[in-house]
Amino acid sequence: MRTSRRLRVEATGDIITPGQYTVLAQLHGNGPQTLRALAEREHVQAPSMTRIVNALTEQGFVTRTAHPADGRQVQVGITPAGKDVLAEAREQRTAWLAQRVAGLSDEDRQTLSRAAHIMQQLAAK
């Protein structure tokens, strides 16, 4: 969990916050979603998600549209600019992690590789 949190922080920087990063990643991976669905997925209260989405909207990284099945609800979707900033954040995260892994001994890298394989197997069950 610490590594996951650290990667989120390293991936963000000056443009977006870690919370905004996870929302953009959700929207990119799962398509448009309601504020409620995003809040539930991120385990935050609706007002917190509203603040995150408002900030992303102001930056042009997400759009709000009427829900196709329920006009009372709003769907949030990622914009091309949001996809770009998400890709940049992921590149920063990957570079940070690659730098740390490069500093490990060969033995530690092999151990890490084996552990990653075991974690993938656990997740698949």
pLDDT of residue 77: 97
Task: Give the rounded distance of the alpha carbon of 12 from its chain centre.
Answer: 9
Alpha carbon distance 98, 77 (integer Å): 31
Segment 75-120, tens digit of pLDDT: 999 999 999 999 998 888 888 889 989 999 999 999 999 999 999 9
Q: What is the pTM of this model?
A: 0.79
CA-CA distances (angstroms) from residue 123 to 62, 82, 100, 118?
31, 29, 24, 9
